[in-house]
Amino acid sequence: VENGLPAFDHLPASGAVAITAPASPWLFPLDFPLEVVDRLLHGRRDQRVTARATARENGPGGTTISRQELSRLSARARAARARR
């Protein structure tokens, strides 16, 4: 929200994150000791993901809503809620 108006400049998005697989569960009695030895030799292999929001490109209609249009939209929403 900027200056009391909603900001529609960023949209939610999703993306793939590569995660290394643990030791095979088929090695059941040995999988834990193998992972301990791997951690001792190679250290922690924590996954770090940095997310950055990028501005969306405005289409032909744009995303700017004037205060007058916003107040009309709010009035319509209140009226629709009252009719329920």
Looking at the chain, the whole-number percentage of residues with pLDDT higher than 90 is 2
Whole-angstrom distance, CA of residue 63 vs CA of residue 5: 12
Q: pLDDT category, 40, cuts 50, 70, 90?
A: very high
pTM of the model: 0.31
Residue found by looking up tokens 């319509």 in the block: 76
Give tens-digit pLDDT for 4-35: 666 666 666 777 887 777 767 677 787 788 88
What is the C-alpha separation between 77 and 74, in angstroms, rounded?
Answer: 5
Identify any residues that bridge with 5 across adjacent strands, giving them in sequence order.
2
